[in-house]
Every structure is written in structure tokens, then in C-alpha cells.
Amino acid sequence: MSRLINGLHHVTALAGGAQKNVDFYAGILGLRLVKKTINFDAPDVYHLYYGDENGNPGSIMTFFPYGQIARGRKGTNQLTYTAFSVPTAALGYWMDRLTAHHIAFDKPQKRFNETFLRFEDHDGLGIELVANDEDTRSGWNNGVIDPALAIKGFHGVTLHETRGEPTLKLLTGLMEHRVVTETEGRYRLQAGDGGPGTYVDMIVTPGNLRGMQGAGTVHHVAFSTDSDETQLEIRERLEEGGMSVTPVADRNYFHSIYFREPGGVLFEVATNPPGFAIDEKPSELGTKLMLPEWYEPRRAAIEAGLERIELKRV
Ligand code: ZN
């Protein structure tokens, strides 16, 4: 049987102001802005993609910066933390860097033998940096951060559920994940080859308040599949397993299907091809506002309605 799920593809979240979002992810975290486009379903809102040099699956953090929208609330039945992977030797550097940029963080904590830092972006989105030395990906730096200390891509995500069993069953069954370990109510799963970029952690707290969507919350998490063929295969398998899955949507840089896991978190399965170089040279990724063909006739009006954003090296 062929492998249908490789690990994480991207995480998409809601944000407030676009410039603040760029300042945080391209500036402070030093990710590459690999695509500046619009929300295909709401062309007055940007869709900003950050990642490693090419925006490889497993490194892509994306945002819809809605400007003046209410903040959401962290809680159950939500993806509460997105973790990025950094080298162990970089942890001190990141503490200094966050301090220099007035980003408050919790003191380093340990989980599954890895030390991590936890903090929030300007909208309250939960971010972690997990120190480890098993990540061989090259990552990206913004020209300020030493490449040896830069973020390499995702480490994993944390799902916060009120009931663990149904989600665990979906992930380990239809979605090909394996439980790596479990301690104190936290499960760690991985998919594909395993390791950073493939982890899904799940914590279960039946009594906690449900999360509420708004700025600073994750909208959905996407899992990577190799091709249109493997996507159709997993789609069929999910439907046969009782999930209600959308038809394939063309997102220009990948093709997508969506469904809700039993806890209510929106899951997507996205194809690895065609990738971000489909409409810009690799060296120029993220430098221009890219629109899908059907919006090109409205470019002037769309551009006029969007907040001006610029990359700053910090
Ligand atoms: Zn998506």
C-alpha cells in the first residue's frame, strides 16, 4: 500500500494587522515570506505564506490578516500551539532575540526530553520553539540570523481536545499516524518518515473551555500528500471511513481537500506539487502580490484595498 500522508504541510491562522504579522514571522522569527497573495474566498484580505527557502511542505505557516477583527480564545477542540524546530545550541540565542524584541516567553520547559520555549505572536497565537538535534532540514534565515541558529521548519502542532479517543482513532487509522510516546495526558504521534515536521501532539482536558475562532487562532492544519493521485486515494478512504470531505480545491500552489476531525478542528490534505515557484522565480518568491488568473482583471482595485506591507530586516 502506498503512503498517503507524509506529515505536516502547512498551518493557517487568523491574524490582525498585516504589517505586524510580517514583522513577527519574516522579521523576528526570520522565516521567508514565500508568497504574498490574497484569500481566494475573500480578495480584500491577504494570504501571506512564510516558510523555508522554497516554502517546502512542513515549513509553511500561513495567515489571513483580517485587520480589525476580534481576538479569538485558546481552548479545547482547537490547534493551540504550533511548534518550530531549532538546533539545541540556538536556544540561548532565541531567548536573547525574543527579549530584544520585547516578546515575553515562559522559562524553558522540558517535554519528551526536548527543551522548548513558548510565547505568543502579536495577536496571541501560540508558538513554541523546540530545541533538538535530529532536524537535518536547512531552514531559512532573514539575513540577520546566523543560518546555524535559524528555524528549520515545523516541529509539530498541539491539538487540544475534550475527547481524545475519536481523534486518536482517525489519526492512527485513516491518517497513517503512529503513537510515538505518551506522558501525563499528552500523546505524541508522527507520520511518514517521522521526526520534526511530522509530529502531532494531542492533549485531552474534558472540562476546559472551548476555543473560539478569531485573530490569534489557527484556522486549519494541512497534512502533506505526494500527488493528486494519493490525494484522491486518501479522500476516498476518509469518505469510506465516514468523514465528510470537500471536493478538491485548486489553491494554485497546492490542491486541497478539507474535513473536520471528530473534535472539530479543520483538517486539510494538500498536495506537495506544484509549489510556490509556479508563478515566481525561486529567487523572487514573495516579492510581488500574486493573484490567481481570475482576479487579475481586478488587480488595481484589490491592491488599493490592501494594507501596504514591507519586509524589514530586524
Ligand atoms: Zn490550507
CA of 200 to the centre of ligand 1 (A): 16
Query: In the numeric block, which cell numbers belong to residue 72?
Result: 479569538
pLDDT digits (tens, 9 = 90+) for 196-223: 999 999 999 998 999 999 999 999 999 9
Beta bridge partners of 260: 266
Rounded to an integer, the average pLDDT of 237-243 is 97
Rounded to an integer, the average pLDDT of 281-304 is 96
Within 13 Å, how many C-alpha atoms sit on residue 119's CB side? 21
The pLDDT, as a whole number, for residue 143 is 86
CA of 177 to the centre of ligand 1 (A): 19
CA of 254 to the centre of ligand 1 (A): 9
The pLDDT, as a whole number, for residue 207 is 87
Residue 2 has pLDDT above 90, yes or no: no
Greater pLDDT, 177 or 1 = 177
3-state helix/strand/coil string of the chain: CCCCCCEEEEEEEEECCHHHHHHHHHHHCCCEEEEEEEECCEEEEEEEEEECCCCCCCCEEEEEECCCCCECECCECEEEEEEEEECHHHHHHHHHHHHHCCCCECCCEEECCEEEEEEECCCCCEEEEEECCCCCCCCCCCCCCCHHHCCCEEEEEEEEECCCHHHHHHHHCCCCCEEEEEECCEEEEECCCCCCCCEEEEEECCCCCECECCECCEEEEEEEECCHHHHHHHHHHHHHCCCCCCCCEECCCCEEEEEECCCCCEEEEEECCCCHHHCCCHHHCCCCECCCHHHHHHHHHHHHHCCCCCCCCC
Rounded to an integer, the average pLDDT of 177-199 is 96
pTM above the 0.85 mark?
yes
CA of 10 to the centre of ligand 1 (A): 6
CA of 122 to the centre of ligand 1 (A): 21
Q: Which residues contact 66 (CB under 8 A, 6 or more apart)?
A: 14, 15, 16, 45, 215
Query: In the numeric block, which cell numbers belong to residue 103?
Result: 516578546
CA of 40 to the centre of ligand 1 (A): 11
Please give the single-letter amino acid code of residue 231: Q
CA of 107 to the centre of ligand 1 (A): 32
For the chain, list the domains and their CATH numbers: 7-305 (3.10.180.10)
| Average predicted confidence (pLDDT) for the chain | 96
Query: In the numeric block, which cell numbers belong to residue 117?
Result: 520555549
The pLDDT, as a whole number, for residue 163 is 95
Query: In the numeric block, which cell numbers belong to residue 44?
Result: 480584500
Q: How do beta strands 78-86 and 126-131 pair?
A: parallel
The pLDDT, as a whole number, for residue 185 is 86
pLDDT digits (tens, 9 = 90+) for 252-279: 999 999 999 999 999 999 999 999 999 9
pLDDT digits (tens, 9 = 90+) for 30-75: 999 999 999 988 999 999 999 999 999 999 999 999 998 999 999 9
The pLDDT, as a whole number, for residue 1 is 61
CA of 1 to the centre of ligand 1 (A): 26
CA of 48 to the centre of ligand 1 (A): 12
Give the span between the Cα atoms of 135 and 112, in whole angstroms: 16
Query: In the numeric block, which cell numbers belong to residue 136?
Result: 537535518
CA of 49 to the centre of ligand 1 (A): 10
CA of 171 to the centre of ligand 1 (A): 18
Q: Cell 490547534: give the residue.
A: 79
Give the span between the Cα atoms of 309 and 36, in whole angstroms: 10
The pLDDT, as a whole number, for residue 152 is 98
pLDDT digits (tens, 9 = 90+) for 109-155: 999 999 999 999 999 999 999 999 999 999 998 889 999 999 999 99
pLDDT digits (tens, 9 = 90+) for 85-106: 999 999 999 999 999 999 999 9
